[in-house]
Amino acid sequence: MKNNLKSGIIKILIVNVLNLVVTLITNFVLPKHLSTETYAAIKSYQFYINYIGILHLGYADGMYLKYGGKSYTEIDTRVFKRELSTLRIFQFIMCFVATVVALFMRDLVMVLVALSILPYNMFVGYKTIFQAIGDFDSYSKAINASTVILFLINMVSLFVLHIDKMQVYLYGYFVCYVLIWIALEYRISKTMYQEAKEYVAFDVKYFSENIRSGILLMLGNFSSIILTGMDRWFIKFFMDTVAFAEYSFAVSIENFINFAVTPVSTTLYNYFCGSVTNQQIKQVRNLVSVFSAFLITAAFPAKFILETYLNKYIAAADVIFYLFVGQFFFIQVKSIYINLYKAQRRQTVYFIKLSFIVLLGAVFNAVLYMLMKSKEAFAIGTMLTACVWFVLSVMDFPTLKIESRQWAYLLTIPVLFLLLGRFKATVGMILYLLAVAILTYIFMRKEFDWGIAYIQRGVKTVRAYKGENINE
């Protein structure tokens, strides 16, 4: 199990390096060269499309729970193919209905979001299944395909065609999801052959079973999306397009963290579905805490780029730091506690807690906006909500009690991060890294020693590899 966990994390992490570079370039180039209106339209499409996952009503999540921890050889292919075809037909119906409604709205963004329901939800459905059964190779390729295709669409439209029209970019994104969906269908067809009648079959039994078992998890995941996107909804309703573009830029920087976190959060579900002890979970949790503390350092290079390259978005700097503190806690919740809720089949508890957190987040955002009347209010609201969610998650797992020294670490890191975020980017980054290293050594000594040993092993491996090449 440990080897599977390690190989899964490494496999996704290596592939995600490409995604990180591509997304990094895209998220700095687009706001630099596109008009605020076009950039805002692109971010609106990307924002709305995150919410169409609710239209499978938990069906994909039911399959996720059903096949979690299994391999292809343990799956009944006849049932599996029937379930996929049912999902396919179901999403076609939802796509058709939503498109008709969107056409009456006469809004291009909404029409393309509606048309994206079938390809995008099938794309998400396949990713979910790959994650559940531990097929991290296919999972990584699916994510990379979307990243690379979207990158090519953006770069060709911007630097080859020199286009600053939202229609071109939005049509390109839609075509991207269609192509990836077709590729994933082909991938599955190579694994298990499907006749034409099997491809379009609809089974009421599997339809109801998967929705019943997965709807609470879906609602929990959807509530999580609402929670993390709530700040932008408030911006949409209460502030102008420029504020939305600036805030969306800050969120796009925040999303870089996902490339580093995804290998961990994705593989841990499959790991927790196996036989693991509380001590093993604690070890993983503590490592994730240290990992999170170092990871949010990425806010400083982002601020440096704003200071030197993207000065028109410098107003997003404070938002970035507040959101990154929220991510410090979100990473631990998503990687450890949400995966434990799922692995232990505690979807009801997860949904109830998350519903409360969503309501609390709305209150935080509303009250802080009334007090501050600025976009920073929503970032602070998101940060406070993340802190409360972390505490409530910890309370649900008393056997995984956090020690006082670990609490000291968890409370000191955010305070230092926000204080040093007021410095110039280069100075703040150096001081923060030094402070985190010292705090990790003091409060998380075991994890510090493990990290040093891991780095030393990596250096020895590289040296040995170079030595072999020289001898050859």
Those residues whose C-beta lies under 8 Å from the C-beta of residue 167, and which sit 6 or more positions away, are 108
Question: 270-294: string of b/e by CB count within 10 Å (b at 16+)?
Answer: bbbbeebeeeebbebbbbbbbbbbb
> What number of helices (H) and strands (E) belong to the chain?
21, 0
The answer, yes or no, to whether residue 275 has pLDDT greater than 70, is: yes
Say if 17 falls within a structural domain. no
Q: What is the sign, positive or negative, of the torsion defined by CA atoms of 278, 279, 282, 287?
A: negative
φ, ψ at 86 (rounded to 5°)? -65, -45
> pLDDT, tens digit, for every residue of 361-401?
889 989 998 998 888 898 899 899 999 999 999 998 888 88
Helices (H), 373-444: 376-395, 404-420, 425-443
The answer, yes or no, to whether residue 415 has pLDDT greater than 90, is: yes
189 & 237 share domain: no
150 & 177 share domain: yes
SS3 content of the chain, % helix, strand, coil (to 5): 90, 0, 10
246 & 296 share domain: yes
Q: Which of 202, 237, 272 is the last residue of a domain?
A: 202
What type of residue is 256? F
| DSSP 8-class letter at 401 | P
Which has more pLDDT, 315 or 11?
A: 315
Say if 107 falls within a structural domain. yes
Contact 400, 286 (CB under 8 A): no
The tokens of 294 are what?
């170092």
At residue 417, the pLDDT reads 95
Binned at pLDDT 50, 70 and 90, residue 55 comes out as confident
The answer, yes or no, to whether residue 342 has pLDDT greater than 90, is: no
> How many whole angstroms separate alpha carbon 228 and alpha carbon 386?
9
Other CB atoms within a 10 A radius of the CB of residue 100 amount to 10
Contact 154, 162 (CB under 8 A): no
What angle, rounded to 10 degrees, do the helices at 117-133 and 166-191 form? 40
HSE, side-chain direction, 13 A CA sphere, residue 223: 24
The tokens of 63 are what?
């399959």
The answer, yes or no, to whether residue 436 has pLDDT greater than 90, is: yes
315 & 377 share domain: yes
> What residues make up the domain containing 397?
215-472
Those residues whose C-beta lies under 8 Å from the C-beta of residue 114, and which sit 6 or more positions away, are 95, 98, 99, 101, 102
> pLDDT, tens digit, for every residue of 221-230?
677 677 767 7
102 & 226 share domain: no
Q: What is the sign, positive or negative, of the torsion defined by CA atoms of 421, 426, 431, 432?
A: positive
> For the residues 323-332, what does the mean pLDDT come to?
91
320 & 374 share domain: yes
Say if 459 falls within a structural domain. yes
Q: Which of 202, 235, 255 is the last residue of a domain?
A: 202
Contact 286, 406 (CB under 8 A): yes
Q: What is the sign, positive or negative, of the torsion defined by CA atoms of 419, 422, 423, 429?
A: positive
The answer, yes or no, to whether residue 309 has pLDDT greater than 90, is: no
Q: Which of 421, 254, 248 is nearest to 330 (CA)?
A: 254
381 & 270 share domain: yes
Which has more pLDDT, 215 or 99?
A: 99
What type of residue is 371? L
Say if 130 falls within a structural domain. yes
242 & 358 share domain: yes
Say if 25 falls within a structural domain. no
Say if 445 falls within a structural domain. yes
388 & 446 share domain: yes
> For the residues 159-185, what does the mean pLDDT come to?
88
Q: Which of 243, 265, 471, 287 is nearest to 378 (CA)?
A: 243
Binned at pLDDT 50, 70 and 90, residue 459 comes out as low
81 & 165 share domain: yes
Distances (CA, A) of 435 to 139, 293, 299: 36, 10, 15
At residue 329, the pLDDT reads 93
Query: Does residue 58 come out as left (phi exceeding 0), alpha (psi in the -120 to 50 range) or beta?
Result: left
> pLDDT, tens digit, for every residue of 189-211?
776 666 666 677 788 888 888 88
**How many independent structural domains does the chain possess?**
2
> For the residues 98-114, what does the mean pLDDT come to?
91
The answer, yes or no, to whether residue 469 has pLDDT greater than 70, is: no
Say if 9 falls within a structural domain. no
The answer, yes or no, to whether residue 103 has pLDDT greater than 60, is: yes
Q: Which of 225, 291, 224 is nearest to 260 (CA)?
A: 291
Distances (CA, A) of 356 to 352, 362, 468: 6, 10, 57
- Average pLDDT of the residues of the chain: 82
The answer, yes or no, to whether residue 406 has pLDDT greater than 50, is: yes
Question: What radius of gyration do the chain's Cα atoms show?
Answer: 23
> For the residues 295-310, what does the mean pLDDT come to?
86
> For the residues 69-74, what does the mean pLDDT come to?
72
Say if 179 falls within a structural domain. yes
* Listed range (9-13, 18-22, 191-195, 375-379) with the worst mean pLDDT: 9-13
Q: What is the sign, positive or negative, of the torsion defined by CA atoms of 316, 222, 141, 98?
A: negative
Q: Which of 180, 202, 224 is the last residue of a domain?
A: 202
Q: Which of 150, 149, 144, 141 is nearest to 190 (CA)?
A: 141
Contact 404, 348 (CB under 8 A): no
- pLDDT above 90: percentage of residues in the chain: 21
Whether the model pTM is above 0.85: no
295 & 441 share domain: yes
Cα torsion through 178, 182, 183, 186, rounded to 10: 170
φ, ψ at 446 (rounded to 5°)? -60, -45
Which has more pLDDT, 69 or 434?
A: 434
224 & 310 share domain: yes
At residue 1, the pLDDT reads 46
